Structure 1
């Protein structure tokens, strides 16, 4: 193993050690109406389940106008293990749901994927996302 390959492997191991959240990456599907319960749910296709690091990438939320109301966007970066192989390609519109975190406010947080970065020399797989309110 070359010095560069060894340094990259060590960096990937360190990045993965900092992944203290767990969560689920999924592709939302069509809404499904249950006539028995009268409830509508959104079907989804699971892409990845496991460890992650989730952190905000901007200091303050950003207000944007959507139709007749203001929507607050908060941008996040999701880091997955470099070796993570999802069940399909990750695309904008997919969602990441935080299941567990040392921060008790994060479980249940749903992030909407806005972009995916690829790099052979990255220490983690980085996914851009936002939370919408």
Structure 2
């Protein structure tokens, strides 16, 4: 193993040691309309990943306020770091609109938090796979 590869391996191991949260990364299924009940039925989600992660707010983000219908929504940015070696199901890529649900965390306020993916970063020299998300509450 050359110097760079050894350095990256140590960095990736160290980053994984910080991953104390557990998340589910998924793509919501297509909704359908049930004419008999008049209700919209959610589709079956495609789970892209479930496992350890590090979820943290983006320090520079001040959040923005947006109008959603007749309600003010504050968008807060989060970074979700997954292990560098994370593999997705064949042919799938993370895309805006996918969601991350926090399943467990040392912070008791985080489980149940749902974040919307806005983008993903890729780099051969990264210590983790970073996914940009926002909290739309």
Q: Given the two structures, how large is their TM-score scaled by the length of structure 1?
A: 0.90
Structure 1 residue 68, shift from structure 2 partner:
3.8
Q: Is 1:16 the counterpart of 2:16 in the alignment? A: yes
Match in the other structure for 1:47: 48
Shift of 1:33: 5.9
Mapped partners of 1:39, 1:127: distance in 2? 29
Deviation of 1:30 after TM superposition, in Å, equals 1.5
> Residue 118 of structure 2 contacts residue 133 of structure 2 at CA under 8 Å; is this kept in 1?
yes
Match of 1:90 in 2: 94
Q: The residue matched to 2:8 in structure 1 has which SS?
A: helix
The answer to whether residue 112 in structure 2 is matched with residue 108 in structure 1 is: yes
Residues 75, 136 of structure 2: 8 Å contact kept: yes
- The Cα of 1:62 is off from its aligned counterpart by 1.8
- Pairing 1:118-133 to 2, within 5 Å after superposition: 118-133=122-137
**Structure 1 unmatched ranges of 5 or more:** none
RMSD between aligned residues: 1.9
CA shift at 1:111, angstroms? Answer: 0.4
1:66 is aligned to: 68
Q: Distance in 2 between matches of 1:52 and 1:100?
A: 10
Deviation at 1:32, TM superposition (A): 4.6
Deviation at 1:42, TM superposition (A): 4.1
Please list the CA deviations of residues 25-60 of structure 1 after superposition, one character each: whole Å capped at 9, or x if unmatched.
001112256768x78334211100100000000454
